[in-house]
Amino acid sequence: MSTASAPAGVSVEVMAQREADIRVSDLRKTFKVPEREAGLRASMRSLVRRTHREVHAVAGVCFQIPAGEVVGFLGPNGAGKTTTLKMLSGLLFPTSGDVSVLGHVPWRRERDYLRRMTLVMGNRNQLQWDIPALDSFEMNRAIYRIPYPDFRATRDEIVELLEIGDLVRKPVRTLSLGERMKAEIAAAMLHRPQVLFLDEPTIGLDVTMQKRIRTFLGEYNRRYGATVLLTSHYMADVQALCKRVIVIDEGSILYDGSLRELSTRYAPHQTINVTLADPGHDLGGFGEILTAEDASDSSRVSLKVPKEQTSAVAARLLAAHDVTDLTIEDPPVEDVIEQVFSGPAPTSVGSRP
């Protein structure tokens, strides 16, 4: 694997020392789930002989993440994303497999490891409900034994980046969901972690709050060279932060590679949106017509065209018709991800070793 280029503000020497922050090999987690039929008789029988079934939440996952890289970890509900993050952060013991994060085995929960990583879960609270976030920040300072001058400088910097200067003085219970989520993220970053595990950090937030948090995470990555593994159902988060994605389903990796290559592999078509000066033209010979709208003085048509033919089809349209506007679009990332789950698996998993 090639060494990642250093983010702005992070020296090449530091990056060389941290060539691969996360190494995962054949990671597996199997849960035993009790089963019984409905009814009193089945309940009595289960007291004597309980039956179980095995659920393979994570089934042989392998990947590496170089220092400073932001990677999207994508999959449907129940795919194994959160279970994987919990094992990487040390909350769960795996059934089998090897993991190294910053040179540590996560489930040993060594103090030095816990001081260098953080786990943010969008649907979990760590702030005390009835006191201002600033007081919870002070508690985190004591837990992580952060020298006060360092703590104050980091706290003020993060508060400024997240624009929560007024909010951190209010009791947490009075904050909106978006305001509380920004305060939660600030609390998780006070010890300047080198590795961030982010599980749906923008879930339930409005578009403005999502963008603010994305901007903060991108800036944190640039300033400190942090390695980030991000799960999100909002593709805007992934497109804004991640050049590489890992797609997982039913506990197994379906794809590991660049976001651009994912689109090329699973969505080999583009959309040509063309506006013609005159209505009533049949463009079926140029591609598959997705939509067609005629007005009194114009016509707008969307065509689905194979990517390798897009340039030629666009040139033919311009030569054959009076075109007032023409745009070429890639399919939405949401559609590409859906195709990954519904379509046949690729012959090789991405381009990662």
What is the tens place of the pLDDT at every residue in 36-70?
Answer: 777 777 777 777 777 778 899 999 999 999 999 99
**CA distance to 31, 162, 176, 215, 234, per residue, from 209 (Å):** 36, 10, 11, 10, 13
Compute the mean pLDDT over every residue in the chain, rounded to the nearest whole number: 86
Spatial separation of the C-alpha atoms in residues 190 and 154, rounded to whole Å: 6
With b for 16 or more beta-carbon neighbours within 10 A and e for fewer, the 142-168 pattern comes to eeeebeeeebeebbebbbebbebeebb
What is the tens place of the pLDDT at every residue in 181-204?
Answer: 999 999 999 999 999 999 999 888
With b for 16 or more beta-carbon neighbours within 10 A and e for fewer, the 214-235 pattern comes to bebbeebbeebbbbbbbbbebb
CA dihedral 126, 74, 211, 213 (to 10 degrees): 30
290 pLDDT higher than 50: yes
Spatial separation of the C-alpha atoms in residues 80 and 248, rounded to whole Å: 7
What is the tens place of the pLDDT at every residue in 79-107?
Answer: 999 999 999 999 999 999 999 999 999 99
Q: Comparing 12-116+193-263 with 270-329, is the CATH topology the same?
A: no
Residue 138, H or E segment: helix 133-144
Chain centroid to Cα 254, Å, comes to: 15
What band does 242 get if pLDDT is binned at 50, 70 and 90?
Answer: very high
The residue type at 16: A
Widest CA span of the chain, in angstroms?
80
What are the boundaries of each domain within the chain? Answer: 12-116+193-263, 270-329
Spatial separation of the C-alpha atoms in residues 270 and 306, rounded to whole Å: 6
Q: Fold for domain 12-116+193-263? A: Rossmann fold (3.40.50)
8 pLDDT higher than 50: no
What band does 4 get if pLDDT is binned at 50, 70 and 90?
Answer: very low
Asked if residue 99 lies in contact with residue 106, where contact means CB atoms within 8 angstroms, the answer is yes
Spatial separation of the C-alpha atoms in residues 58 and 105, rounded to whole Å: 18
Q: Which two tokens stand for residue 209?
A: 């709050």
CATH of 270-329, one of 1.10.3470, 3.40.50, 3.30.1490, 3.30.70: 3.30.70
Asked if residue 183 lies in contact with residue 168, where contact means CB atoms within 8 angstroms, the answer is yes
Q: Which two tokens stand for residue 167?
A: 């909010």
The residue type at 334: E
| Residues written for the chain | 353
18 pLDDT higher than 70: no
Q: Which two tokens stand for residue 86?
A: 């919990």
Spatial separation of the C-alpha atoms in residues 189 and 228, rounded to whole Å: 12
350 pLDDT higher than 70: no
72 DSSP β-pair partners: 230, 245
Judged by phi (left if over 0) then psi (alpha if -120 to 50, else beta), residue 145 lies in: left
